Amino acid sequence: MADYLLGIDLGGTNINVGVVDDRGTVITKHALPLGSPETRTDVLEGIYRATEGALKRAGMKPDAIRAIGIATPGTLDIAGGVVVLASNLPDWENVALRDLVRKRFGVPTVLENDANAAAWGEYWAGAGREVSSMVMLTLGTGIGGGIIMDGKLWHGFKDSAAEIGHVTIDYRGRKCACGNIGCLEAYASADSTVRRFIEAVKSGRPSNLERMVNERPDEVTSRLIYEEALKGDGLSRKTMEETGFYLGVGIVSILHFLNPEMVVLTGGLTGAGSMLMDPVKRVVAERAFSRSREDLEIVFARLGGDAGFIGAAGCALTGLETSAS
């Protein structure tokens, strides 16, 4: 009898696959480095090998799996199960990924955006399991997001909802990598945190990292900045707190528009802990309407790097339940 679910998280460097039960508890997981694929076939073979590796580790055959969920970056046609375009993978355009995986393993399969899947993972089996509405922000190179309202993922008209990193917080501000001006991502992502820090050092602000900034700027990371802040570097701390301030400004807009019960923060920047969270909560307390912040929880994610495959598996379960009804 097929009792388990399988989630595939197709990342930029690794393919993470996990087998979970119907409550999101991880039975086993397996990671396979993506390497440097040159063709579409290379990527597909990597997905198949990673999936087979997870099944082998669990001591299972495909017929033990009720459904498979795939979390992937890029522009998707979710209903059609097609990756329309993912620029970080070779020849990854108009790939009928759902049907290819379904045919390979003979198991019902669904496709989901990676940020949405991670948000669903936290909602289903992590920080958000006690709420019905939740917004998650993924703070990495950019800022991704996922929105759950009334227990359902919100995809939008063209599967393009939750581009939270491109909420405008300063219409005359910094240019974003997307080409727009003043996006949240241009202020509160890991990359923008590093950029602001380097600008401050080069303008003459003192820091323990001054020599590295001047000689090896490519080695400066957001993690290094918050680690120096913990050691007492004033500029590093101020930079991280500014990131929290900008993030809080963006969250206020989200609260006024969606009024969720919970906001979950995940990604590398959350390692800064209270340096990031305290200014976020302070800005929300000062700027959000009282009804929008009443009983609101702003928390860090619980599932870490497993959220993607757990959420993908959860989306597969939801797909089964939807088709059954």
pLDDT tens-digit map of 110-147: 999 999 999 999 999 999 999 999 999 999 989 999 99
Asked if residue 126 is part of any domain, the answer here is no
Q: Which domain holds residue 19?
A: 4-121+305-324
Note whether 77 and 173 are same-domain residues: no
State residue 12's pLDDT score.
80
State residue 325's pLDDT score.
57
Asked if residue 101 is part of any domain, the answer here is yes
pLDDT band at 267 (very low <50, low <70, confident <90, very high): very high
Retrieve residue 231's tokens.
Answer: 């050691």
Stretch (H or E) spanning 244: helix 234-258
Note whether 259 and 309 are same-domain residues: no
User: Could you read off the pLDDT of 279-316 as tens digits, one per residue?
Assistant: 999 999 999 999 999 999 999 999 999 999 999 999 99
Instruction: Tell me the whole-structure pTM to 2 decimals.
Output: 0.94
pLDDT of 83 above 70 = yes
pLDDT band at 45 (very low <50, low <70, confident <90, very high): very high
Note whether 203 and 291 are same-domain residues: yes
- Give percent of the chain above pLDDT 70: 99
Alpha carbon distance 235, 49 (integer Å): 46
- Closest by CA position to 104, among listed 77, 68, 74, 72: 68
Note whether 69 and 189 are same-domain residues: no
